């Protein structure tokens, strides 16, 4: 589980609550109408902006920002080096049996291709095509959150404009401007908070996840091609080590 | 029909109406003059910004955001695999007759090229050129909506400036500032709403559509080249499967 | 003549005038001082930003946005196909005489190179180099209008700040704030109008023009290389057809 | 140590303090609640936005902006030329012993590869892969500071909105608007200051550092390949000189 | 000397002065404290953002925006054609003596390489590497001015916030709001003016200069390679002519 996502949102919400309570009554910040305009408007614009299937998938994707288990790229290296050693000792065909021990379908596929004796160029093409299509699909998911992060402050402002226009039309006594203004500003507050504590940071987290995954898959591609070409396990390790920061490199 | 586009706009309009009625009289938000400045100004700037033919085509293109029938890429795979099987059984020339059953002129063209025995490099060049020119034409359409999405809040602000200047010039009693301000702010409200509920989300939807179409056409190019090179239908399927998300992959 | 540019600016100006007159006196919106700050300041910043020769050329380039005669890419196809037929019938050298009937110096140059028997790679290099240098020069022109579109609202705001500071310094009676504020806001109004009705849309129109021209020249390059390689006129036509939208393709 | 980073922050803080004291009491600008919302909110959003490990690493990376010792690229040239001379005189294997005198593990690795007689293409691939992965890791670090530079003004605004809403709700006497507004604006002030004096400039400094390091490593790659190919030390020097500004070139 | 830079800044300053004097007293716009915050803060942030050496070099680079002598690319063509003629008549070695007549070290270097009989690919690599490193160094210089153009309005706003907070805290009589507000707004005015009349336009001018220089150096590279390959002077001229606008092409 990604503890940082949870802690971050909890901390942000706590700080806002605390800061509101410090200065007065929390009830002045609860406005179902404002919430409706900001969340509903953002959702409406998102529905216009993306195909239904993409919008529905976002719930799925967003779960990733909370549940993703951070795996060290070192594990990829260990797996690839173990395979390289086996291939070296018992021949490339020997690693076919290891396929059933591997969870990651991407790695499994690649090993199958290598065992089948496909041309290295073909293996690279197929795996890189798969990788770039995965990246493209993830990017669509990120862009939904990005759009929500730009529509929510916009609808916050639209809600505030509605509130301001209504208040100003009936304004007779300028001293009464305060209350109406306070109500009108709540939608701007909601929009800004949703964008900067939820939508945009979640987009960022998902992008980090995708970067991580892409890096690991690039390591898998390099590793499989290196194993297929009969490289010494030390060389396989050396090649994959260039992908990780020096301090994570082991001997 | 793209139901999400319709639902999104309907939901957005309903929320705005509801929120206005909740807070008072809907008539305070109806202003033909403001509408004229925002819609007319946006249209005028768009006419300066794009050739007449491009502007006229946008109506056409925008219909796509409502009427587009989402087709699964799985259908492309099925068609290509069926062709691959036929080519395998009866030879590449046998698929020439299938051309008349295919609606998509892009796919038809490609198959014709393959049947004619053109060089694979030539087929790829011609089809990718056609694809990138299609993308360029679509992009022009998207950019019209994008421009409208930036001009409409700008003319909303210009309208508000006109209203403010007129009100402030004759202002003698500051207590009367409310009514004039309310009227002036309506153009900003119109501009923001049009941009964030109509123009920018429609641009997004059209971009999604184009991405979908480009992906399917890339699959067609890969599939035709794979068929022409005499690949086994299983291989054809395997290559095209890398384009779709794992969960849509069938055995 | 590009009628859309003219209509757009005329429509925009009319709407603004109409909207001002509807709400009061046009004279309140005429301020030579504000005009001086916005137009003069924008011009000054543009002079610092670009070499003198580039700034002077913009007048020239901008004329294009009004006078450009939209030519269909179909004409390019017709010309190239006619040349292909002649080359096919009478040999490549026969088309040398046609050069004098061609207005476009880019096409003329390319045909000369083909007739001279230059290497196809050399022809492509020379023509693409010329094309990319043309694009670079046009881009500089567009960027001048883009800069004017960002400097004019900036100087609008600077003018408003000057007005506000002057008014606020001598303000004793808050009820007099209206008049001074109205005057100060006029510069913001001028800056926003110039940017959104003139500079930025004109930049857009010129970009469309350049895109059109580049597309046609890419067609010329493909066509000449196809003719030189002795392609059948039908093939030449087929290759060029991929550049235009399907609905413009003729048999 | 990077003296400019220290001087810059000290100068900025001093100017702000001085300017505040000049105009009145410093205590009006100290608000623990505002600090909590801006710093805490920025930190919370950053935690949501990045994996925990990345956030923790930023402290480490940021130290670089203060402690980095600016090394002239000339030193890289001197080292490479010395190695080239040795390789020329005593053969490529002779430089293996020099490896232990070299601090930079990147350079050491590259020399080892060259001494081992690896293929130049392989050396370039491995070293450039390592370099581009280093760049990617640094970029992630920079993007954390960039995010903090966009979240801090956002939370500054959110804090101001909270303050404004609280003040406006209880506002009865418009003459009391001043004090509450002053308090509300302090969060905006904190957010703007943090972004523009700390987060964004530090991001810039780290980017400069990375550019420097990448340039030097590109020089190392060129130099090692040049040495391995047996180039004359003068040629090695000439090739590396093209990386530095003419005025730093020595004979 | 670049007369446009001087005229632009002089014109801008004059317009601002004139506009201020027209509306009142110039003294209301002179505020050493505001100047200190805007210029000092911008300088402080720039020091944090860039290595000291880069900041110091900007003074040097900026001089270019005033002193640069615009040289027509036609001169480059003339020089290259003269060399081509000499090489044609007397052999490539004959042009070695011409090196001492050439001021530009880049051109001199390239000719030396050609005379030395280096491989064309090597010449291109060395010269393009030098050119792209030059571009990278110039870009760093431009980015300093760009940063100053974003920090100066930010510190303008920070100064205004300080002024507003100080004024609002002691505000008892709303009618006194004017004077304090005027003083506070002066920093925003300074920041906006510095950014839009000085920093950003100077960045633009330096970018134009770099584009010019890069274009000329690309011409030098093409020309030298063309001469070395023994091209006819007419061909050399023809190749270089594609770099300049048709109207500057001479027969």
pLDDT at D143 (0 to 100): 95
Cβ-based burial of B50 (10 A; exposed 0-12, middle 13-18, buried ≥19): buried
Q: How far is CA D106 from CA C99, D127, D128, D213, in A?
A: 60, 8, 11, 11
What pLDDT sits at residue E173?
Answer: 67
Give the model's pLDDT for residue B98: 81
Is A192–D161 a contact, with Cβ atoms under 8 angstroms apart? yes
Per-residue buried b or exposed e for D130-150, using 16+ beta carbons within 10 Å of the residue's own CB: bbebbeebbebbbbbbbbbbe
Q: Which residue of chain D has the CA closest to A215?
A: D133
Could you tell me how many CB contacts below 8 A there are between chain C and chain E? Answer: 157
Positions in chain E whose pLDDT score sits under 70: 1, 70, 171-176, 250-251
The four Cα atoms A93, A98, A102, A108 give a dihedral, to 10 degrees, of 10
Q: What is the pLDDT of residue E102?
A: 86
| Contacts for C230-239: CB closer than 8 Å, 24+ residues apart | C230/C87, C230/C88, C230/C92, C231/C84, C232/C84, C232/C88, C233/C81, C233/C84, C233/C85, C233/C88, C236/C80, C236/C81, C236/C84, C237/C77, C237/C80, C237/C81, C237/C84, C238/B126, C239/B126, C239/B129
* Per-residue confidence (pLDDT) for residue E2, from 0 to 100: 80
Q: Which residues of chain A fall short of a pLDDT of 50?
A: none
Tell me the chain E residues in contact with residue C149 when contact means C-beta distances shorter than 8 Å: none
Interface confidence (ipTM) of the complex: 0.89
Give yes or no for a contact between B77 and B219, defined as CB atoms under 8 angstroms apart.
yes
Q: Which of D236, D246, D235, D229 is nearest to D92 (CA)?
A: D229
Distance from CA of C35 to the nearest CA of E (A): 11
Tens of each residue's pLDDT in chain B, 251 residues: 588 899 999 999 999 999 999 877 888 899 999 999 999 999 999 999 999 888 988 888 888 778 777 677 888 999 999 999 999 898 888 888 888 888 888 999 899 989 888 899 989 988 998 999 889 989 998 999 999 999 999 999 999 999 999 888 876 666 667 778 888 999 999 999 999 999 999 999 999 999 989 999 999 999 999 999 988 898 899 889 888 887 777 65
Q: What is the pLDDT of residues C90-109, one digit of tens each?
A: 888 888 888 888 888 899 98
Name subunits touching E (3+ CB pairs < 8 A).
C, D
- A182 vs D173: CB contact, 8 Å cut-off? no
Q: Which residues contact E239 (CB under 8 A, 6 or more apart)?
A: C126, C129, E222, E223, E226, E231
Mark which residues 148-207 of D lie under 8 Å from A by CB.
151, 154-155, 157-159, 161-174
| Chain E residues in contact with C154 (beta carbon < 8 A) | 192, 195-196
Share of chain C above pLDDT 90, in %: 51
Q: Which residues of B touch A171 (CB under 8 A)?
A: 175, 177-179
CA of B250 vs chain C CAs: smallest distance (Å): 34
Partner-chain contact E182 C168, CB within 8 Å:
yes
Three-state SS letters, C163-210: HHHHHHHCCCCHHHHHHHHHHHHHHHHHHHHHHHHHHHHHHHHHHHHH
* Chains contacting D (3+ CB pairs below 8 angstroms): A, E
Give the A window 66-105 contacts with B, CB below 8 Å. Answer: 105
Q: What is the pLDDT along chain D (251 residues), one digit of tens a residue?
A: 588 899 999 999 999 999 999 877 888 899 999 999 999 999 999 999 999 888 988 888 888 778 777 677 888 999 999 999 999 898 888 888 888 888 888 999 899 989 888 899 989 988 999 999 889 989 998 999 999 999 999 999 999 999 999 888 877 666 667 778 888 999 999 999 999 999 999 999 999 999 989 999 999 999 999 999 988 898 899 889 888 887 777 65
Which stretches within chain C are classed as H helix?
3-23, 32-35, 41-49, 52-67, 73-90, 105-115, 120-169, 177-193, 200-228, 233-241
Asked if C242 is an interface residue toward chain B (Cβ–Cβ < 8 A), one would say: yes
Kindly list the residues from chain E whose CB atom is less than 8 angstroms away from the CB atom of residue D77: none
Cα distance between residue D178 and residue D194, in whole Å:
24
Residues of E in contact with D3 (CB under 8 A): 52
Instruction: Using an 8 Å CB-CB cutoff, list chain B residues near A137.
Output: 245
Nearest to C52 among E4, E204, E238 (CB): E4
pLDDT tens readout for residues C3-23: 889 999 999 999 999 999 987
Going by C-alpha positions, the residue among A55, A18, A41 that lies closest to residue A188 is A41
Chains B, D in contact, 3 or more Cβ pairs below 8 Å: no
Chain E partners of C53 at a C-beta cutoff of 8 Å?
70
CB proximity under 8 Å: B 107-146 to C? 126, 129-130, 133, 136-137, 140
Radius of gyration for chain B, computed over Cα atoms and rounded to the nearest angstrom:
26
In degrees rounded to 5, what are phi and psi of residue E50? Answer: -130, 155
Q: Quickly tell me which residue has 């027969």 as its tokens.
A: E251
* Least CB–CB distance from C29: residue in B49, B50, B165: B165
Q: State the chains in contact with A (3 or more Cβ–Cβ pairs under 8 Å).
A: B, D
- Using CA atoms, how far apart are residues D2 and E52, in angstroms rounded to an integer? 8
Q: Which of C33, C40, C129 sits opposite E11 (nearest CB)?
A: C40
**Using CB atoms, which residue from E36, E51, E159 is nearest to D208?**
E51
* Sole residue written with tokens 């390489």: E113
């Amino acid at each position: 589980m990604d503890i940082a996502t949870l802690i971050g949102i909890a901390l942000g919400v706590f700080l806002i609550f605390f800061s509101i309570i410090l200065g007065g009554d929390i009830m002045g910040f609860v406005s179902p109408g404002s919430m409706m305009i900001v969340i509903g408007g953002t959702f409406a614009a998102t529905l216009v902006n993306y195909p239904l299937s993409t919008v529905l998938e976002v719930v799925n994707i967003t779960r990733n920002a909370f549940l993703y288990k951070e795996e060290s790229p070192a594990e990829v290296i260990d797996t690839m080096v173990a395979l390289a050693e086996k291939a070296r000792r018992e021949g490339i065909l020997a690693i076919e049996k290891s396929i059933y021990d591997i969870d990651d379908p991407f790695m499994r596929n690649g090993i199958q291709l290598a065992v089948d004796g496909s041309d290295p160029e073909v293996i690279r093409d197929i795996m890189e095509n798969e990788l770039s299509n995965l990246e493209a699909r993830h990017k669509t998911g990120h862009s939904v959150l990005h759009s929500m992060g730009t529509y929510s402050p916009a609808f916050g402002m639209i809600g505030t404009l509605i509130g301001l226009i209504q208040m100003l039309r009936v304004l007779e006594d300028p001293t009464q401007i305060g209350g109406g203004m306070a109500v009108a500003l709540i939608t701007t507050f909601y929009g800004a908070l949703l964008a900067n504590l939820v939508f945009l940071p979640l987009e960022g987290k998902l992008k980090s996840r995708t970067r991580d995954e892409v890096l690991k898959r690039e390591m898998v591609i390099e590793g499989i091609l290196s194993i297929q070409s009969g490289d010494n396990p030390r060389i396989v390790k050396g090649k994959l080590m260039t992908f990780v920061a020096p301090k994570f490199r082991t001997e």
